[in-house]
Amino acid sequence: MLSDRPYMQPSYHRAGTSVYIWLISILGAAFVLELVLLSPWWPAGGRFVTSLILTVQALRGWQLWTLLTHCLIHENHSPFHILFVLFSLAYIGRELEPLLGSRRFLVVFFATVLGGGLAWFGVNLAHPGAQYIGAGAGVVGLFVVLAAIYPEREMRLLFLPITFRVKHCVWGLLALDLFGLVLYEILGAAAPIDFSPSAHLGGMLTGWIYFRYFHANNGWDRAAGFALPKWLRRQKTTGANRKPPVGSLSKSSPELRAEVDRILDKINSHGFGSLTDEEKRILDEAKDMLSRS
């Protein structure tokens, strides 16, 4: 019975700790480990920490893992860098993970980290001594996705009785990073505040690409203005394999039960935002039938 499945019960909550909490815990633990390795008690620890930092020389030497591992290293002279990342992830993850699902949330985070690292490398090729650390690109990339889904949602800055719409915060970050990119980073000058605009912009662009072509359109082959070759497109079902119309599925129909089972499994794996309009209609019809039974 559909009503026996935990997804259809009103009191259902996904078991286990949320992925964004695990991510916050890992970044926090990595920061503590970084402090330990850089302490006088671990003479060789500094070399290990350095091997995780993203630098121009590292990528030229094919140390490609630094494109991702740099997000584990943060400024160790002050706690504000890591605290900003952790508090931001807590706010964004609480709102975004239920929409994307655990696996997709992690994929988007690391994709934006990678996008930020590649953008930083492209801008800093002429500065061999430059280096980049931190998960800032992943944070702003997720923030762009959140703003694209809920542009009018209000948020309040810590310790300030002022509220902003999420979309306005994104536009403000975009303006700040573009300003820093043109006037400081491209010229190799030190910015008034220690940040890497190119990495932030790369993360933001990656987040926007995800929303525009994957989230909002449910895949590349449905994106406006983009078409895959025929041999890569999803095959349409015909004849006996064609699903019956939504309205033709009766209350006792095994096709409806099987279809709802598949949709619920998809929600569990990828989040509600991954559903197509047809799948949402089928799910609504199943709920209506259960409420009348």
Residue with tokens 């590292």: 58
Structure tokens at 79: 């706690």
CA–CA separation, 83 and 255 (whole Å): 50
Averaged pLDDT of the chain: 79
For residue 40, what are the contacts with CB-CB under 8 A and spacing of at least 6?
A: none
Q: Where are the domains of the chain?
A: 19-222, 248-293
CATH number of 19-222: 1.20.1540.10
pTM: 0.69
Mean pLDDT of 149-171: 79
Residue 143 · residue 155 · CB < 8 Å:
no
- Phi–psi pair at 169, nearest 5 degrees: -65, -40
Cα distance between residue 60 and residue 41, in whole Å: 32
**Which position has the token pair 């000058």?**
189
> What does the DSSP 8-state code read for residue 212?
I
Q: Which two tokens stand for residue 10?
A: 């009103």
Lowest mean pLDDT among 47-61, 74-88, 193-207, 221-235: 221-235
pLDDT score at 241: 46
**pLDDT tens digits along 81-128:** 899 899 999 999 998 998 888 899 999 999 999 999 999 999 988 888
47-56, 77-86, 253-262: range with lowest mean pLDDT: 253-262
Instruction: Give the pLDDT of residue 79.
Output: 85
Which is higher by pLDDT, 90 or 266? 90
